[in-house]
Chains A and B, each alone.
Chain A
Amino acid sequence: MQVTRRQFFKVCAGGLGASSMAMLGFSPNDALAEVREFKLARTTETRNTCPYCSVGCGVLIYNLGDKAKNVHGKVIHIEGDPDHPVNRGTLCPKGAALLDFVESPNRLKYPEYRAAGSKEWTRISWDDAFTRIAKLMKQDRDKNFIAKNKDGATVNRWISTGFLAASASSNETGYLTQKVARSLGLLAFDNQARV
């Protein structure tokens, strides 16, 4: 055992201090075999898909409460879904931080509209948003739709507008999105595969 003179004095002084503290009652006696309570014990578990990239990992969302009528639920924890074939329970750092994504003050929860030249975003209803999008799409399509090319062959193109869709959709949603976009004649069609 190698102890220097300085270390010896240190441990003596520290020893006296700490044992005095312990004897003066700074250390409670009861040493119970407890761990932190398992925080998910009676929460409600909901399966979902991670909203970030196109890998589409399965997540489990844990909600306070049992969905009873008078209870306001609150998401308290999100982790990977071990039964999901894509990720089998694992999550990347962004996926592992989904709880703070849900709670973020910057999270977009409803459609907002900023008029040209204005600095202000104003909340609008989903109906208003859809109506506006549909109107603008129709306007642009009526103006720029190309039914035939210069050789007279039917092409039915609408190349002045692009369509950006979700990446973490189900097969069925993807199929429907494809049908909608292509039937309008859209060529520029992509999804937010990496965010």
Chain B
Amino acid sequence: MALQSLDIKARSATTTPSPSARETMEVAKLIDISKCIGCKACQVACMEWNDLRDEVGTNVGVYDNPPNLTAESWTVMRYSEVELEANKLEWLIRKDGCMHCADPGCLKACPAPGAIVQYSNGIVDFHQEHCIGCGYCITGCPFDIPRISKKDSKAYKCTLCSDRVAVGMEPACVKTCPTGAIVFGTKDDMIHHAEGRIIDLKSRGYANAGLYDPQGVGGTHVMYVLQHADKPEIYNNLPKNPTISPMVGLWKGITKPLTSFALGLLAVGTLFHYVIKGPNEVSKDIEKEFENES
């Protein structure tokens, strides 16, 4: 029962079943928003480990920098200033990035075989060499995470450092976090850890403290401890009940088989046309006429 199992549990646009005889441990990353000081060490460690150097942007007036996820910034800190009670300002800092859903909308939507895989440890990974750059993963994602690169038209997002986890290490962001706001382990252990944190937060007056592990996407392998779990939207629009867009079901369930069938019909029709009518040939007489004219 290794943490680092990379057995494939599901892969995009593949109908044959994935190997499923072995049961492996599920991993999870827990982000405790109440402990985050917004230092962005996780952002830096992510860039460093994944050999990414995004363009140096400009100050947009708030601490968010870069202001949004990009193909070269797989995690960003989102800062929100909220005042739930008068004169009690709260600075809520959420580390945004892929949630590694148990039921990943990106993988469901992806038409390229093997471009998106889900390992049995719960990590959802993109394999860019198989990506066709259609952007369906963005439509499928309830958290608006994947980004298409302008350089190579491939989709990129957080891998939960699958290469590190594969050899038994923790993701780079988890390791670097100076306050211990990001922790990593088995999903069960992370839920247990969160329970302790929630008891602590409740004793400090956060009556609605809770764990964010949305069941609409089957639970996630990146979870948050929220001081105000009843209002996830105040954390820079964290969706309250994330679900996969109905567009994905429609495309997978109806349009894809239908259009594939139409395409096949077209090919068969072309073949029949060739067999019955044959190629369109120009007779030698007509060719001579044209030559004489010119």
- A residues whose Cβ falls under 8 Å from a Cβ of B: 1-3, 7-8, 10-12, 14-16, 18-23, 26-39, 41, 77-80, 82, 87, 89-93, 95-97, 99-100
Contact = CB atoms under 8 A, between A and B. Distances in A.
B33 interface: no
Interface of B: 6-8, 11, 13-14, 39-41, 43-45, 48-49, 111-115, 117, 125, 127, 129-130, 132, 134, 136, 159, 162-164, 166-167, 172, 175-178, 180, 246-247, 249-251, 255-256, 258-260, 262-263
Given A1-B250, A18-B111, A23 B178 contact: no
A41 B246 CA distance: 43
B112 A22 contact: yes
A17 to B, nearest CB: 8
Contacts of B162: 35-36
Question: Chain B CB within 10 Å — which of A10, A12, A22, A23 has the most?
Answer: A22
Contacts of A93: 39-41, 43-44
A119 B18 CA distance: 68
Contact of A15 (B14, B129, B249, B255): B255
A36 B11 CA distance: 17
A180 B285 CA distance: 108
B132 to A, nearest CB: 5
Given A26-B132, A38-B166, A90 B246 contact: no
Contact of A27 (B11, B132, B167, B259): B132
Given A19-B111, A35-B166, A11 B247 contact: yes
Contact of B45 (A19, A22, A79): A79
Given A31-B117, A93-B39, 16 more contacts: A3-B246, A12-B255, A12-B259, A14-B134, A15-B259, A31-B11, A31-B113, A35-B125, A36-B162, A79-B48, A79-B176, A80-B175, A87-B178, A93-B40, A93-B44, A95-B41
Contacts of A19: 111, 256, 259-260, 263
A181 B179 CA distance: 37
B167 A91 contact: no
B126 to A, nearest CB: 11
B148 to A, nearest CB: 14
Contacts of A18: 111, 132, 134, 136, 256
B114 A20 contact: no
A99 B48 contact: yes
